[in-house]
Chains A and B, each alone.
With several copies, the nearest count.
Chain A
């Protein structure tokens, strides 16, 4: 089966921004996403007190261009305000039209 290279963008952020973040990555061009829950530690410390539980881990498989747009959007709107971290991993998929 032929696969096509795309980018997997993984974002860890505060659960309080979940809805806002989903809207923002869609605006960047993401056609789908998956959200799980994690707890962790980074430079801003441990645990965030929130009704929805600790932190969200959102991942979205997108084209290189959309991935760049998401990283730019995160820099502008999230990195300096919310305990947020993101990384990008190369990913191969079949059915590239889906992403």
Chain B
């Protein structure tokens, strides 16, 4: 039955698009999307996720919200610490590199998150709508905590300005205004924009994953140089964090779908907001390490095995 669940998840359009593009690239087929499409689609996805979250927050009551919110904040602090500890001591990386990785695993992969939602909807498992709102919060906290960890190892004075640059940077800012617009306008008045921000979402995500497949294929070569411990941790860290997320979600009484979402929020690693943030705040950290781990290992792992596993955890816990 778990195998069936894996297949079920695997066969969605975005996941297959990712794998087919990855394999095609390895065989030297040129399936890269036009250069100008990548920023357009990522902007679109961030805004659409933000609008969805803001609209859901508008519909939620504070009574429903406060417990999951606190769990999110705790996860936002704990998950980068766990990632830091494992990469620093089990992985024997430098403080800077371990912090960089902590920023990625403390933050969230909006794409993994969305694939989970697609799977939940396909399998008719309901979840709390306001969870998308928590995504933005976790996305930011995880990065901030990780940058804080690296504070000692960097030129101190720049830390604050780096932080403010990160928060004002494109990916968090777009997510943020999406949430605000969605919250203020509300579901009814947003309806005319639904053909764009709701209707086009799955298709845009599929296109985006073609591009990510190409990039992941190019990163596969770096895996060898990253070493087997990083590969192992690229699977272990999301599993640990995902399990914690599931526990936290179950502890505050979320539905099965909600628990799975919390697991993915905790267990996924960012590869849009975090790399940009880390590049600015921790330029000495090695992108060959953190992009490879987050996009080359954890992302495909979560997409194929992780998501069904988090759903299984959620079903066991609720």
Residues of A near any B CB (own CB < 8 A) = 14, 16-17, 19-20, 37, 39, 45-54, 81-82
Smallest CB gap from B277: residue in A:
A16
Cα distance A95–B24 in the bound complex, in angstroms: 38
Complex contact B35–A39 (CB within 8 A): yes
Min CB distance A58 to B, Å, is 14
Chain B residues with CB under 8 A of A82: 279, 283
Q: How far is the CB of A13 from chain B (nearest CB, A)?
A: 11
Across the interface, do B295 and A49 meet the contact criterion of CB distance under 8 Å?
Answer: yes
Partner among B170, B215, B284, B288 whose Cβ is within 8 Å of the Cβ of A52: B170
Cβ of A47 and Cβ of B280 under 8 Å apart?
A: no
Nearest-CB residue, chain A, relative to B222: A45
**Does B271 lie at the interface of the complex (its beta carbon under 8 Å from any beta carbon of A)?**
yes
B35 touches A14 (CB 8 A): no
CB-defined A-B contacts under 8 Å, sample of 11:
A17-B280, A47-B215, A50-B276, A51-B39, A51-B42, A51-B170, A51-B171, A52-B170, A53-B34, A53-B39, A81-B284
Q: A16: which of B35, B271, B279 is its contact (CB, 8 Å)?
A: B279
Query: Which residues 1-53 of B sit at the A interface, judged by CB distance below 8 A?
Result: 30, 34-36, 38-39, 42-43
| Complex Cα spacing A16 to B162, Å | 12
A16 to B273, CA, bound (A): 11
Q: In the bound complex, do residue B35 and residue A54 qualify as a contact, i.e. CB atoms below 8 Å apart? A: yes
B113 CB, nearest partner CB in chain A, Å: 17
CB neighbours (8 Å) of A37 from chain B are 35
A39 to B280, alpha carbons, bound, how many Å?
Answer: 19
Given pairs A17-B279, A54-B35, 14 additional interface contacts (CB within 8 A): A16-B280, A19-B30, A19-B165, A20-B280, A49-B215, A50-B275, A51-B39, A51-B170, A51-B171, A52-B34, A53-B36, A53-B38, A53-B39, A82-B279
Determine whether the beta carbon of B272 is less than 8 Å from that of A51. Answer: yes
Distance of A14 from chain B, by nearest CB (Å): 6
Counting from the closest, the 4 A-B pairs by CB-CB distance are: A81-B283, A16-B279, A51-B170, A53-B39
Beta-carbon nearest neighbor of B39 in chain A: A53
A53 and B218 contacting across the interface, CB-CB below 8 Å:
no
